Amino acid sequence: MTETATARRSRITPEREAELYAAVLDLLREVGYDALTMDAVAARTRSSKATLYRQWGGKAELVAKAMRHNKPGADIGSVDTGSLRGDLHALVMSTDDCAMEQNNALMRGLAMAVHGNPDLLKAFRELIIEPEMLEIRRVVQRAVDRGEVRPDNPAVDYVVHMFVGAFVARGMIEDQPPTQSFLRSYLDAVVLPALGVSTSL
């Protein structure tokens, strides 16, 4: 985001911004990304299209920011239990199964829309995937600093891949959204052993 964009955004109150993002996600659930128009967002939120474009640049950025804003559960970077296992389990427990299912459905819709929309792919990557990866890296880096994980463990580069597998394969294979109990079991069976962390604590 440019500094100019930040300055512009600051003219909206956080409450108004949250209201607007919620309306965007409602529309996304109702009609999907491709059928969602800036006109509909403007009408639903009683704002002008000019304001929406000035604040967010376009539909892709607006949708990605709304998804990012809506991210359920704790900010992974703010969790610090003193162990990697504690941090990852706390992260999973911070989102209840219902919110996880809703978020998963939105993400799936967006992931499908991404393929025909290079703008959305760019926004999705810059505003959702990269910040998420940075946060996970911070948590893992703390484990490296504590001596829990070896700095040269090659699985450090694949933590996000492992999580993506849990979310996507769960839907594909078991036809179910990920749940807290599934994710905790996957953490102990896959993520932590790959990182060389004992799960028999």
For residues 41 and 110, which CB has a smaller minimum distance to its own copies in the complex? 110
For residues 61 and 188, which CB has a smaller minimum distance to its own copies in the complex? 188
State the minimum distance, in angstroms, from the CB of residue 115 to its own copies: 7
State the minimum distance, in angstroms, from the CB of residue 70 to its own copies: 19
State the minimum distance, in angstroms, from the CB of residue 49 to its own copies: 30
For residues 23 and 143, which CB has a smaller minimum distance to its own copies in the complex? 143
- Provide the H-helix boundaries in the chain: 3-9, 14-31, 38-45, 49-56, 59-70, 84-93, 97-113, 118-124, 130-145, 159-174, 180-186, 192-194
CB 196 within 8 A of CB 189: no
Instruction: Using CB under 8 A, list all residues that contact its own copies.
Output: 108, 111-112, 115, 121, 125, 129, 133, 153-155, 157-158, 160-166, 168-170, 172-173, 175, 185-186, 188-190, 193-194, 196
DSSP 155: G
Q: Is the dihedral of CA 124, 127, 71, 198 positive or negative?
A: positive
State the minimum distance, in angstroms, from the CB of residue 73 to its own copies: 20
For residues 20 and 106, which CB has a smaller minimum distance to its own copies in the complex? 106
Which of 71, 66, 77 shows the shortest CA–CA distance to 44?
A: 66
Residue 165 CA: distances (Å) to CA of 148, 198, 199? 24, 21, 20
For residues 48 and 185, which CB has a smaller minimum distance to its own copies in the complex? 185
State the minimum distance, in angstroms, from the CB of residue 199 to its own copies: 9
Quickly tell me which residue has 């239990």 as its tokens: 81
